[in-house]
Amino acid sequence: MSYHNPKFVKNAREQLDNSDPVLAGIDALFAQAQLMPQPEAALTGIQAMRLHNHDMRQKRAASEFEARATNAEKRATTDVLTGLKNREGMEDVLHRRIEDIKRHPQKALLVTFVDLDGFKALNDGCGHKMGDAALVEVGKRLEGVFRKTDVVCRPGGDEMIVLLPLDAGEGMSRTVIKGKIRQALDGMVAWNQHGQPFPVGASIGVYMIDGYKLAKDMSTEDIAKMAEAAADAAMYADKWHDADKNSLPAGPDDPGHPKNRRLLAAREHALAHPEIEFGNN
């Protein structure tokens, strides 16, 4: 093949990325080949192509390394069972949202804790496989009722956390959030082999990180801890009277507790409508 052939030079150059910093050196070798006798031109052209191929291999290796690093990071921040953000992923999103609020105090963030009432009974009564299926279903349902900008997380166990960013002028009340979550979990019932229903409900706590009310000297980590503690306390208050499971005579099993009242109502509704089952309603 002649390296004096303009068509060959044009085709070779078309294989090169014009943004490649190595291109200048390769172009110089091709230009040099045009001024050489045939044998020397061939060797110079081969050098140019080898340089190009070496550069392409390095780029491919770098791209593969970056892809592996991205996949490793995703695995580290993703709950294997549900595909939601795990504890580490949730903390990362929470910290980034807080940093954004610090820069733009007109923004806010709603930190919502969701504890799945009745899940332990379902897991014990229907088996771990059904328990896993219930967690996956809950994750899908929560993602289905919130916006794409909201992040549903499973930090572990039977607990979910939803992070809802609010721009200036946006608002969403705690009542609306609780209503969305409880509506999403409506019909979350599994049945054991004896025909007993095991409904899953939710105790919910919401705390707002308000950019205008943040203390300027608080660190991002301290704000995150404060928000998580406040949302957790609100969730327990939603589960037990005064956030104390022993605030009624029969303790945590007292039917007067909000959690138990909700589960009892869901169980009675399931018995009246035995066709209700998650994934089938």
Name the token pair of 130. 């059904």
The confidence band for 29, taking pLDDT boundaries of 50, 70 and 90, is low
- Verify that 93 and 226 share a domain, yes or no: yes
| Domain annotation covers residue 127 | yes
Instruction: Specify the range with the lowest mean pLDDT, choosing from 172-176, 203-207, 242-246, 259-263.
Output: 242-246
| Domain annotation covers residue 81 | no
**Mean pLDDT within 38-62:** 64
- Verify that 183 and 248 share a domain, yes or no: yes
pTM: 0.74
Looking at the predicted structure, is the pLDDT value of residue 281 above 50? no
- Verify that 94 and 13 share a domain, yes or no: no
| Domain annotation covers residue 1 | no
| Domain annotation covers residue 281 | no
**Mean pLDDT within 41-64:** 65
- Verify that 43 and 181 share a domain, yes or no: no
HSE at residue 146, side-chain half, CA atoms within 13 A, is 26
The confidence band for 30, taking pLDDT boundaries of 50, 70 and 90, is low
Q: Which residue did the predictor score with more confidence, 60 or 141?
A: 141
Which among 76, 104, 126 is the end of a domain?
A: 76
Instruction: Specify the range with the lowest mean pLDDT, choosing from 5-19, 40-54, 129-143, 154-168.
Output: 5-19
Which among 31, 51, 76 is the end of a domain?
A: 76
Structural domain for 22, as ranges: 6-76
Q: Average pLDDT, whole number, for the chain?
A: 85
Domain count, the chain: 2
Task: Find tokens 């290796």 and name the residue.
Answer: 61
Instruction: Give the model's pLDDT for residue 207.
Output: 97
| Domain annotation covers residue 60 | yes
3-state secondary structure 3-45: CCCHHHHHHHHHCCCCCCCCHHHHHHHHHHHHCCCHHHHHHHH
CATH number of the domain enclosing 215: 3.30.70.270
- Verify that 55 and 91 share a domain, yes or no: no
**Mean pLDDT within 24-50:** 59
How far is 55 from 111, CA to CA, in rounded Å? 48
- Verify that 123 and 157 share a domain, yes or no: yes
156 pairs with which residues across the strands?
A: 159
Q: Which residue did the predictor score with more confidence, 210 or 8?
A: 210
Of 1-10, 23-32, 43-52, 186-195, the range with the highest mean pLDDT is 186-195
Instruction: Specify the range with the lowest mean pLDDT, choosing from 37-46, 142-151, 194-203.
Output: 37-46
Looking at the predicted structure, is the pLDDT value of residue 92 above 90? yes
| Domain annotation covers residue 126 | yes
Looking at the predicted structure, is the pLDDT value of residue 223 above 70? yes
- Verify that 126 and 14 share a domain, yes or no: no
- Verify that 24 and 130 share a domain, yes or no: no
